[in-house]
Amino acid sequence: MKKMKILAIDTSNRPLSVAVLDNDHLLAETTLTTHRKHAEFLMPVIEDLIQKSDLLPNDLNRIVVASGPGSYTGIRMATTAAKTLASTLDIELVTVSSLLTLALNISEPRVLINPIFDARNQNMFTGLYQLKNGTMTSIISDQHTNINDWLAKLTDVNQPIMIVGDTAPFSEAFLKRFGDSLRVADELTAVPNAARLGLYGSQLSPVKDIDAVVPRYLRLTKAEADWQKLHPNEDTRNYVEKI
């Protein structure tokens, strides 16, 4: 097995989770859930964990980052930090869906896994996953949608489903749809785990162009929406890259 020392980062929402791994061996990990001061804590946490792992930054071989969807600020910060470190250290970068990262907390192969981030006003970031032969597999791709449209896409689902993440605003609607087939993950399971993220990312191919990596917002940012109003006839698909 190729020797690989990995730094994994997830600041997609309120939790901040960072881990350092040596292949599949966890060296150090920190998870904070009490605030969203990621700008203040992210780099000090990274520096502290690398030091506590008896490593230097140049010892790292790969960075794995949860690149969205989620909080605009959170995923932008994690993605920027990961890109900067990967470029500066000239090491590999892997990006992973923040929803898939949350789904990794569920190790039950007999259920469909439905991670949820609350996007307010009955809207959500969500996707559908299932653990197949030890691999987390996407069943329905990540998207920004509202609860009614999402449940309509699950009409043909006839097996147990587990919702995990920001479940409270949507649990009643899910219960009405799935009844006894619904399972709701506990709050601890709803906290992303950077160690699992790093382990999963160790099995993926790194990105070919670090500079081209952008956060996976899955919806227009306020800046994009404002720009679109002023330029109604122009293509906004590459707005983030252009800016």
Type of residue numbered 26? L
Q: Say yes or no: do domains 5-98+192-242 and 106-184 share a fold.
A: yes
pLDDT in tens, 99-156: 999 999 999 999 999 999 999 999 999 999 999 999 999 999 999 999 999 999 999 9
* Measured distance CA(50)–CA(39) in Å, rounded: 18
pTM of the model: 0.91
* Measured distance CA(132)–CA(141) in Å, rounded: 16
Task: Label residue 3 by pLDDT band (50, 70, 90).
Answer: confident
Task: Label residue 243 by pLDDT band (50, 70, 90).
Answer: very low
Which whole number is the average pLDDT over 11-30?
97
CATH 3.30.420.40 is held by the domain 5-98+192-242: yes
pLDDT at 222: 53
User: In the chain, where are the structural domains located?
Assistant: 5-98+192-242, 106-184
Map residue 99 onto helix, strand or coil: helix
Average pLDDT, the chain: 92
CATH 3.90.1150.10 is held by the domain 106-184: no
